[in-house]
Structure 1
Amino acid sequence: MESAIGRVAPLEAVLFDIDGTMGISDPFHHRATSEMLLKVGYNNGVPITPEFGMKHMAGRSNEQIGRFLFPDWDQARLDAFFAEKEELFARYAGEGLKEIAGLTALCHWADERRLKRAAVTNAPRANAELMISILGLSDFFKLIVSAEDCGRSKPYPDPYLRALHLLGASPDHTIVFEDSTVGVQAGVAARMPVIAIADESREGKLTAVGASLVIRDYTDPKLWSELDKLDTTKPQAAEANGA
């Protein structure tokens, strides 16, 4: 039986989340958020765990996180909190953000085939641009759809639908790369197969919400087996967006 990924042939576009999908950013988010929560006395001063962050914050927008953490805060207070948190994150990420293994090779593969591409994230635009710049991919990802660009963030399909519209791409010929539950849900809701980055402990959760394939990183043989099947078709002649 043909896989969901195989059915996108001929492949036209690839859409990538950023946090945890392009770069190993979770430790920096956890550090920055933990410091801010301790500063305001959240949870009676007991530090949050990485597991708490993964369960309640990973892949979500600051607006969604703020509503969960501080349901009684007004918008001005939330904005100030997250502005300071993002400043901390930018400092820490600038000191050590690394790509998910194999990302550069995958981007080269997509570039050779002149695929359209975009970065689609729940992160603030400044945060997204910073991470892409640190990873050396600013020229590759000319199009970024960020939290500010849509009325509804992931898990709604709106960010991915906007990216498709701006690229002029069809969901029937596009693959999404994600790492979070809400991200996978958004890609599936936009009617695209999703390849998810996850360790063994999270694989079942991402499969349960619709991931077509779960890989450890972009060197995973399972990924390249699927891409090799797509390579039975002629690489796209259309110019990649912004290339």
Structure 2
Amino acid sequence: MPNCLFIFLFCVRATSKSSLSGVAPLEAVLFDIDGTLCDSDPIHYYAFREMLPEIGFNGGVPITEEYYIENFAGKHNDDVARILFPDDFERGLKFTEDKEAMFRRLAVDKLKRVNGLYKVKKWIEDRGLKRAAVTNAPRVNAELMISMLGLSDFFQGLVIGNECEHAKPHPEPYLKGLEILKASKEHTFVFEDSVSGIKAAVAAGMPVVGLTTGNPEHILVEAKPTFLIKDYEDPKLWAALEELDKKSGTGSGTSRA
């Protein structure tokens, strides 16, 4: 029994590691957009619930939030199209285009930033760090959300999954983000909120801070983030950033631009 207890405690400590110090000195930060910068999943979910019954999906019964999280959240629209219409990809793509148009109409009034976003934005700016957004969202969606959040001048690059040969969960979008910023994976970390996004960043060789804004912890943990936070006000994040500052020899008054 004592041996079993020791093994259990070791595993808990190993999976709860919350250090970013391995990327010191920090050079760049990459962000997903949907669910990471803004709480957009409820809007996407609403659009799917409204539109899927119209095509008779699931026998006309609206999908549950759990179904949305498992099958649609964070996925590229090509993958969603194949789920909805496995035998008619073009029809699936047309549906996703219509659904994204509905999302944009709703977002104008309903889009909200993730709590503490501007606090972490200032932390990054104060240190002169490079930053880019990397997303599976269509470009028109991504640019709308970034503009609505007042971040158009913050990001120095924007990578769109469907403009790459492979979208997330393939690492290519995050590798392209590094390339655009001329940053190294050894000195960069990522903010993500979905399983596919976390897998993409991990496969690209970077530590990932996962946000539980739209997906349950037990699902995100399977993708192997460095640690999980509720939002950008989470004390766990700021403890990790303070540790990173100490190891990098930087602080709020230090610019690395």
The TM-score range, normalised by the shorter chain, is over 0.9
1:200 offset after TM fit, Å?
A: 10
Alpha-carbon separation, structure 2, partners of 1:136 and 1:176: 20
CA displacement, residues 187-216 of structure 1 (integer Å, 9 cap, x when unaligned): 100010000001697223222221101000
Radius of gyration: which is bigger? 2
**Quick one: which of 97, 100, 124 aligns to 1:83?**
97
In structure 2, the partner of 1:143 is 157
| Aligned CA distance change for structure 1 residues 135 and 200 (closer, same or farther; 3 Å) | closer
Could you tell me which amino acid in structure 2 is paired with residue 64 of structure 1?
Answer: D
> Is residue 205 of structure 2 the alignment partner of residue 191 of structure 1?
yes
In structure 2, the partner of 1:176 is 190
> Is residue 90 of structure 2 the alignment partner of residue 59 of structure 1?
no
Alpha-carbon separation, structure 2, partners of 1:43 and 1:111: 47
Alpha-carbon separation, structure 2, partners of 1:74 and 1:64: 10
Q: Which moved more, 1:41-50 or 1:197-206?
A: 197-206
How many aligned residue pairs are there? 238
**Quick one: which of 175, 199, 224 aligns to 1:210?**
224
* TM-score where L is the length of structure 1: 0.93
1:86 offset after TM fit, Å?
A: 1.0
Q: SS in structure 2 opposite 1:231?
A: helix
| Percent identity of paired positions between Structure 1 and Structure 2 | 49
In structure 1, the partner of 2:8 is none
In structure 1, the partner of 2:127 is 113
Alpha-carbon separation, structure 2, partners of 1:160 and 1:178: 11
> Is residue 123 of structure 2 the alignment partner of residue 94 of structure 1?
no
In structure 2, the partner of 1:69 is 84
Alpha-carbon separation, structure 2, partners of 1:200 and 1:163: 24
1:74 offset after TM fit, Å?
A: 3.3
> Is residue 36 of structure 2 the alignment partner of residue 21 of structure 1?
yes
CA displacement, residues 88-138 of structure 1 (integer Å, 9 cap, x when unaligned): 000111112111100111011101111000000111111111111111111
Unaligned runs of 5+ in 1: none
Could you tell me which amino acid in structure 2 is paired with residue 223 of structure 1?
Answer: L
Note the aligned Cα RMSD (angstroms). 1.8
Alignment of 1:19-58 (within 5 A): 19-58=34-73
In structure 2, the partner of 1:165 is 179
Alpha-carbon separation, structure 2, partners of 1:199 and 1:230: 24
